[in-house]
Each structure stands twice: as C-alpha cells, then as structure tokens.
C-alpha cells in the first residue's frame, strides 16, 4: 500500500455465499467502510495477513478452509507476526449451535452472531465499544512505520467492478452454493452410479481410486459428502478414515461430517457403523441411498438469506 491520505476504515466479509457478501458490502459501505471480500476461509486467511481490518465477519462453514480453522490459523500467525494488533473477528453462521459458538470464541473469535442478521444488529456491532476501540487503535498504528504497511488509506482503496455492482444494485440475485463430494472407490460401475446421482444434484465431484489419494484429498478441505469403499488398494477405507480422524484431531477445529463407508460387511444382520464414519452403505445400495446422503449434506450446509 502507498500509505497516503487518511486511513480508511476497512471491513472484511468471509463467506462462500455471494448473496450474503452482497448484503454486507452494501450495508457496511453505507456505514463508511471500505469492504473486502473472501469467498472461502483460505482467501480470508490471506486477506487478514495482508491488511489490519477494523472488523472481520467470518462464516463458520466454508469450502477449502472453514471459519474455525481460518481463525485458529490466523491467531497462531498473528502471535508471531503481528503481536501489536489483535484483529477483531465476529463469527457468523446459520447453523452453529451454542457449542459451536463456544468453540469459535475459544479459537479466537471476539463475538458470534447467528444468521439471519438484520441491518440494526449489524449497526449495533459496528458501534460497540470493542470495535470503536479497535478503530482508534488502528488510527494510531497508521502513524507507525512498522504498522502502516498493513493499513488501508484513502488512496489505496480500490473498489472492484464487482463491488461497485454489489453496492449500486438493489436487486437480490440468487446464488447457488457449489456442494462438493469426494468418491473414493475402485470399481467403475459403483463410481458411475454414485457420480450420476451427484451430478444430477449439480454438485462438484472428485473421484479417487485408492486409499492414499483419498486421505490426501480428505486433508485438503471439508467436503459436503464423502463416499469411501472399505476395500481400496494401498490403504483400506477403514485405515484411511482412522488415520484421517487422528490427523484431524491435531490439525483442524471443525469435524468433517457426512463420511459414509461402502462395505460388503454391512447387511441386515450387521448394521454397525464403523468408527470415524457417520454412516455406512452396503454394496447393494440404491440411488435413493446416495440421494439421502447428499440431501443430508446439503441440508446441513444450506444458508438462508441475510435480511
């Protein structure tokens, strides 16, 4: 940043739903903020490392990196790289319960707001004493040589064409969230059956054929649904999930949901769900079984409009 002119109040909205970002941009711009956007936790993390914001609004459930992991990783980075300013972060979610909200505060969120969020509620947050204090602190830091590089100034702020349209338009456009599914299966006919159901739902899909690849892709992001065969080569489905859960406990905050194992051992007499899984399908599953799993994932991550 050039660091010329007055420091500009700046907010960041991290949310994968475009319509949510749109409403926040319009509302916060009207309150005098320059607003930056990130459509997933990974981009949000990069934005927070680049700029010191007056306030950050961060969704809980997002692709690539969810809100809890995003905030936790940022707080760890902040301690070592920017100890002179603690970023004010407000968690937002339509699905998080009290326990999730507590976890958000534990990993470093300053506050939590359940969706839908009204304009009045947003205005109250912007006027709260903690945020006013953060703004005053940033105004002082903007005069320091070691901190002003992380501040936004009047001549630095460039509103993109997308942000211009978001602020100017009064139309509320629908935005479909792209759900994601990982299929770890070695048999082509099984892959085709599951993939057909996934594509009919309009989901994005990643197909792998062995356990080591499955483990690698499970670590890359939170998926809306995972189907994994127990008889995968190189690493069995059971071992893959067990290894992943151990890794997850040490490296993530949010638990991967909706993992379903496909196992020949599952039948009417044996309906035990393997450890680490959320469900299990027998090898003679139906398309309705697959659709049920997908609907469960979509229902959990469905985001209502912000009012």
Residues 105-147 have pLDDT tens digits of: 999 999 999 888 989 999 999 999 999 999 999 999 988 877 8
pLDDT of residue 206: 86
Structure-token match 């903007």, residue found: 142
* Gap between the Cα atoms of 210 and 65, Å rounded: 24
What is the percentage of the chain residues whose pLDDT exceeds 70?
Answer: 86
* Gap between the Cα atoms of 94 and 20, Å rounded: 11
What is the percentage of the chain residues whose pLDDT exceeds 90?
Answer: 46
Confidence category of residue 168, pLDDT binned at 50, 70, 90: very low
Confidence category of residue 163, pLDDT binned at 50, 70, 90: very low
Mean pLDDT, residues 10-38? 94
* Gap between the Cα atoms of 208 and 29, Å rounded: 44
pLDDT of residue 15: 94
Mean pLDDT, residues 29-52? 92
pTM here is 0.58
What angle separates helix 188-200 from helix 287-301, to the nearest 10 degrees?
50
Evaluate if residue 59 carries a pLDDT over 60: yes
- Comparing CA positions, the residue from 52, 61, 19 lying closest to residue 34 is 52
């Amino acid at each position: 940043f050039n660091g010329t002119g007055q420091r500009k109040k700046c907010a960041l909205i991290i949310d994968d739903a475009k319509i949510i970002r749109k409403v926040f941009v319009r509302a916060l711009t009207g309150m005098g903020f320059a607003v930056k956007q990130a459509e997933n936790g990974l981009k949000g993390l990069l934005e927070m490392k680049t700029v010191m914001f007056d306030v950050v609004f961060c969704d809980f459930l997002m692709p690539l990196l969810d809100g809890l992991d995003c905030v936790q990783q940022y707080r760890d980075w902040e301690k070592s790289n920017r100890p002179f300013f603690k970023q004010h972060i407000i968690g937002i979610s339509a699905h998080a319960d009290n326990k999730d909200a507590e976890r958000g505060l534990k990993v470093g969120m300053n506050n939590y707001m359940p969706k839908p969020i009204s304009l009045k509620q947003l205005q109250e947050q912007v006027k709260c004493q903690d945020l006013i204090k953060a703004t005053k602190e940033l105004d002082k830091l903007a005069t320091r040589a070691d901190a002003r590089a992380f501040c936004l100034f009047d001549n630095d702020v460039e509103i993109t064409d997308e942000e211009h349209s978001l602020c100017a338009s009064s139309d509320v456009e629908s935005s479909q969230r792209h759900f994601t599914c990982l299929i770890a299966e070695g048999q082509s006919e099984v892959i085709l059956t599951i993939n057909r159901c996934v594509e009919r739902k309009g989901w994005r899909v990643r197909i792998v054929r062995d356990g080591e690849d499955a483990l690698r892709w499970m670590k890359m992001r939170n998926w809306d649904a995972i189907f994994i065969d127990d008889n995968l080569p190189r690493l069995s489905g059971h071992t893959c999930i067990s290894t992943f859960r151990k890794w997850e406990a040490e490296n993530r905050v949010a638990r991967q949901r909706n993992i379903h194992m496909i196992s020949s051992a599952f039948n009417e007499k044996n309906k035990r769900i393997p450890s680490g899984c959320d469900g299990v399908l027998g090898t003679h599953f139906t398309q309705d079984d697959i659709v049920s799993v997908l609907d469960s994932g979509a229902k959990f991550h469905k985001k209502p409009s912000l009012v």
